[in-house]
Amino acid sequence: MDRELALEIVRVTEAAALASAQWMGRGKKNEADDAATTAMRTMFDSVNMAGTVVIGEGELDEAPMLYIGEKLGTGNGPEVDIAVDPLEGTNIVAKGHANAMAVIAIADKGNLLHAPDMYMEKIAVGPNAAGKISLDDPIETTIEIVAEANNKRIRDLTVIIQERDRHQELIDRIRAKGARVKLFGDGDVGASIATALQWTGIDLFVGTGGAPEGVISAAALKCLGGEMQARLVPMNEEEEVRCRRMGLEDPRQLLHMEDLVAGDDAIFAATGVSSGEMLEGVKFLGGNLVETHSIVMRAKTKTVRYVKAHHHLDHKPYLNLNI
Ligand code: VTB
């Protein structure tokens, strides 16, 4: 994969963030998502690559753009797999909350998990605990392993988990074990990556969320030396059939890093829409000048770049929405 692609991809997440941020706080999640998707789609068209969306917004019948199987890029250049989440946290943007971002992961063709948009059970840790955990361990055992790896007392360990009824038993067990629980409303890409960024103080991510978000987070964790393990959670016969159609013989198999993001290379890019643990959000500075904050990283070289950019929306009319 060309290293130039990393900087091309960050332009795509910047565009999605710039467009969707204009819907911040307006109570309209679908409009915010559409704005991000359209901007991402438009920018992708100028990137020299032959990309295919392998996991993303849904299948052709349910998503008009950035659907699984859609071809992206000029068609010239490297053949790559793409995982997209144009707006990670549509509700966040609608409500004006923290931690929304536009995210993309790419890898050489065939290297990203090809799966439907459905629920996925996940566990994520940073570099110290990578290689030591298992999604199949009871949560109490995982807490002991991660505490030891991160050289912390269990009472100082922070487990981040999405605030949902489906997680209540897990939350109760984590608290009973003595660790601290940090609940978040939406956006499990940022939450799982936070485990690999020491300054966040977050040690462990657990819970069930979206499969595309899982693959995207796994690419980021590969760049940062962390680990994710996952298992798809088909909710009915139809979802199982969709998994098999995409080549997953056992839809409930335990997915390791190599199954989620194979090979030694991957590129991850994200641009903040609203400020969060990892990134600052889009800031309107007045006079059509807008600031974005992005992170772009590559697994092969482990380079992590923070890109702060100033955009003049006068010169980007396609991103200057008429709201
Ligand atoms: C998950 C999570 C995402 O939405 O998909 C969640 O992975 C949806 O969960 O990060 P519910 O069905 O319980 O609402 C996000 O939080 C945001 O897209």
Instruction: List pLDDT tens digits, range 63-99.
Output: 888 999 999 999 999 999 999 999 999 999 999 999 9
One domain, residues 202 and 221: yes
The answer to whether residues 17 and 282 touch, using CB atoms and an 8 Å cutoff, is yes
Residues 225 and 141 reside in one and the same domain? yes
Q: Are 122 and 208 in contact (CB under 8 A)?
A: yes
CA of 216 from ligand 1 middle (Å) equals 13
pLDDT in tens, 247-265: 999 999 999 999 999 999 9
Domain that holds residue 283: 4-108+266-315
One-letter amino acid identity for 27? G
Same domain assignment for residues 123 and 225: yes
Q: Which of 260, 280, 302 is the last residue of a domain?
A: 260
Interatomic CA distance for residues 10 and 8, integer angstroms: 6
Comparison of pLDDT for 304 and 277, the residue scoring more? 304
* Domain end position, chosen among 260, 289, 307: 260
Over 90: is that where the pLDDT of 277 sits? Answer: no
SS3 288: coil
Q: Measured in angstroms, how far is the CA atom of residue 99 from the centroid of ligand 1? A: 13
Nearest CA to ligand 1 atom 18: 89
The answer to whether residue 323 is domain-embedded is: no
Does the beta carbon of 164 sit less than 6 angstroms from any atom of ligand 1? yes
pLDDT tens digits for 5-51?
A: 999 999 999 999 999 999 999 999 999 999 999 999 999 999 999 99
Instruction: Indicate if 256 and 145 belong to the same structural domain.
Output: yes
Residue 227 sits in a domain whose CATH number is: 3.40.190.90
- Whether residue 113 is contained in a domain is answered as no
Residue 293 backbone dihedrals phi, psi, to 5 degrees: -125, 125
- Whether residue 131 is found in the same domain as residue 18: no
190 Cβ closer than 6 Å to some ligand 1 atom: no
Considering the domain architecture, whether residues 208 and 308 belong to the same structural domain is answered as: no
142 and 216 belong to one structural domain? yes
The pLDDT tens digits of the residues spanning 293-303 come to: 999 999 999 99
* Residue 69, SS3 per DSSP: coil
pLDDT of 122 over the 80 cut: yes
Across the range 196-204, mean pLDDT stands at 95
Q: What is the CATH number of the domain that holds 102?
A: 3.30.540.10
Average pLDDT estimate for 222-238:
97
1 — pLDDT class (breaks 50, 70, 90): confident
Q: For atom 16 of ligand 1, which residue has the closest CA?
A: 186
Is 229 among the domain residues? yes
The CA 210 to ligand 1 mean position distance, Å, reads 6
Residue that terminates a domain, selected from 230, 260, 290: 260
The whole-number pLDDT of residue 320 equals 87
- Class of residue 138 by CB neighbours under 10 A (exposed 0-12, middle 13-18, buried 19+): exposed
Both 218 and 277 in a single domain?
A: no
Distance CA 285, CA 79 (A): 38
> Same domain, yes or no, for 143 and 224?
yes
Single pTM value for the model? 0.96
Within a domain: residue 59?
Answer: yes
Same domain, 157 and 248: yes
- Whether residue 114 lies inside any domain: the answer is no
Residue minimizing CA distance to atom 4 of ligand 1: 186
Residues 274 and 100: beta-carbon distance below 8 Å: yes
Query: Of all atoms in ligand 1, which is nearest to the CA of residue 91?
Result: 17
Q: Which of 30, 184, 213, 216 to mutate to test the pocket of ligand 1 (most atoms within 8 A of CB)?
A: 213
Q: How does strand 101-108 pair with strand 119-125? A: unpaired
By mean pLDDT, which of 52-56, 87-91, 319-323 is the weakest? 319-323
Give the total number of structural domains in the chain.
Answer: 2
Q: Are residues 13 and 80 in the same domain?
A: yes
Mean pLDDT across 171-181? 98
Residue pLDDT, tens place only, 127-144 = 999 999 999 999 999 999
| pLDDT of 230 above 90 | yes
Of residues 100 and 246, the one with the higher pLDDT is 100
pLDDT score for 64: 85
pLDDT of residue 60 exceeding 80: no
Whether 249 and 288 map to the same domain: the answer is no
C-beta of 88 in contact with ligand 1 (< 6 A): yes
Does some domain include residue 320? no
